[in-house]
Amino acid sequence: MISVTENIKKLSEQENQLHTSLDNLRGQRSKVKEHRQLEKELSGVVSKRQNLQAWAVFELKMPVHRVNSPLLGIVKQLSITPGGMGEVWVSWDGLLQIPEQPNLLQIDSAAMAKIIAVGDRIEIVEGHEEAGKIFTVERLLARGAVETTEEMVFEREEWQRIENSKPDALNHCKEPVDTNSSIPEITSKTQMVDLESRKELASYSEEVVVTVEAVVTTVQEIGELSQDEEKERHRLELKVERAYYEAGSALRELKDKRLYRSTHRTFDAYCQERFGLSSRHSYRLIEAANVVNNLKEFCDQFGHILPAKESVCRSLTIFQPNQQIFAWQQILQETGGKHPTGKQVKGIVERLKEKPLVKASDFCTIGDAFILTRLEGAERKYNGCWAIAFEVRDFTIAVDVYDRELAVKPENLNPIDLPDVRRQLPETLKRIKRLRNNAEMLDRGVYHALEGLGRQRYLTDFEEKLLTFMEQCYGIGD
């Protein structure tokens, strides 16, 4: 089997040969067809060579991110398609594993350097509204960004790691401490702790042991609740679950009616001084209340639960109201109707935001006609052209357009549903390709005319006569 390095070298040699052949054909009007064919071959060779060069830098378990995406992914598999193109299979946030084009991925240098880890503690730097506060890292994001246990996100330049940040609290509780006995010698790492501090530490350890015993005793005393106790429990649980909703609704009313104006110039200053809430969290509570209001009717109608925390609502705020209902329904289906955590919701929402891979065989069959859309790069010029599918692959579809073949995804194709148009287009394509392939040299006006016909869903009487005239001029016909 030829290695990737050898394949890249071989493709580079082919590329140089094609460049030389094209240089030799320049200026020869009688070689237009050969020139176009060589350009097509060169484009394919360059694309494959660039793909493999980009693919070759990745390794398994390597952290990566997409351009302009906050998600941090891990390379799970490196594969080569039957067509010789490299694919990088990435697990995004441990929830989604899909094949990616190598040139759209970047190695995450911050994650490679392991500058921070889950469980580390960070301090927010000056200039940020949370400056001086300390948080624990819950999740790593792209380019050194982190998400904390409070589900707040900080960019790399907004935090600094606290050295020796992982507490070893469990070590304090390994053995019961006798406060009446003399306190043993402290190890070299803690020699600076004075006598009073050590006594406090012993007292703390004793409290932990007592607390654990109390919890064990409580667990052993679990019993059945009466019907009235069940109702009371449910009433109190609802109060706990909807506390954030009540707070958000009240804040929204205070803001909308400007009831803070007698003491404060701005709503943000009022929230900070009166409730100790940052402006960011105040608005999060308001947005969460809006989400609950939007979901209420749907959940009441079908007996579904509402979000129990502000952090659960946070990820839903990116959606429109009708999309929020759909997203919440999907979340409840995946969690079995139980209350999801904010992290679960965030992962499901990220998945819903991603365009799902559509299996090509479920989308179309060979011979179907489409209008091309949302193509990018060099292929953007074919947007609006019609195309005929001639090969259905795993996740892409090979289509014929008026002057070449393209490999596109299902989302790049809009089906043509008009029966008469679908019957006519394959025959029109056949006639256009016959003109382009069999004529030794076509006038430039013919190329322009064929390109125009390649954008029309059906031929008018004049266009039909024009195509027939060109076929007769070059002696091509049935």
DSSP 441-453: S--HHHHHHHHHH
> Would you give the end-to-end CA distance of the chain in angstroms?
46
Q: Which long-range contacts (CB under 8 A, 24 or more apart) does 24-32 make?
A: 29/441, 30/440, 30/441, 32/441, 32/442
The verdict on 241 and 342 lying in the same domain is yes
Q: H helices within 131-226, ranges in order?
A: 195-220
302 and 376 assigned to the same domain: no
pLDDT at res. 186: 37
Decide if 297 contacts 232 (C-beta within 8 A). no
Same domain? 366 vs 466: yes
Q: Is residue 168 part of a domain?
A: no
pLDDT given at position 24? 78
Over its length of 478 residues, how does the chain's per-residue pLDDT go in tens digits?
A: 467 788 888 888 888 888 888 777 766 666 777 877 888 888 888 888 888 888 888 999 899 988 767 888 899 888 888 778 888 888 876 655 678 888 888 898 888 888 898 889 999 998 888 888 999 998 888 889 998 988 888 988 899 998 765 444 434 434 444 444 443 443 433 333 344 434 443 443 344 344 444 444 444 445 677 877 877 787 777 677 678 888 999 999 999 999 999 999 899 999 988 888 888 889 999 999 999 999 988 888 777 889 988 888 998 988 888 788 888 988 887 888 888 888 888 888 887 776 555 566 767 888 888 999 888 777 888 888 889 998 887 667 889 998 888 888 887 888 887 777 778 888 888 888 888 776 566 777 887 888 888 888 778 888 888 888 888 888 776 5
H helix or E strand, kind and range, residue 433: helix 419-438
Residue 25 and residue 57 in one domain: yes
Residue 223, pLDDT score: 60
One domain, residues 376 and 397: yes
Owning domain of residue 145: 113-161
- With contact defined as beta carbons under 8 Å apart, do 154 and 145 qualify? yes
Classify 308 in phi/psi space as left (phi over 0), alpha (psi -120 to 50) or beta: alpha
Check whether residue 26 and residue 97 sit in a common domain.
yes
- Residue 251 maps to a domain: yes
Q: How far is CA 397 from the centre of its chain?
A: 23
| pLDDT tens-digit series, residues 240-254 | 767 888 899 999 999
* Count of structural domains, the chain: 4
* Shared-domain flag, residues 87 and 118: no
**pLDDT, position 250:** 92
Are residues 105 and 136 part of one domain?
A: no
Give the predicted TM-score (pTM) of the model.
0.38
Give the other-Cβ count within 10 Å of 68's Cβ.
6
Q: Are residues 383 and 368 in the same domain?
A: yes
Residue that is last in its domain, among 353, 381, 415: 353
Domain holding 125: CATH number?
2.30.30
pLDDT, one tens digit per residue, over 67-111 is 767 888 899 888 888 778 888 888 876 655 678 888 888 898 888
Is residue 326, in this structure, part of any structural domain at all?
yes
Any domain includes 154: yes
Long-range contacts of 210-217 (CB under 8 A, 24+ apart): none
Looking at residue 218, what is its pLDDT?
A: 43
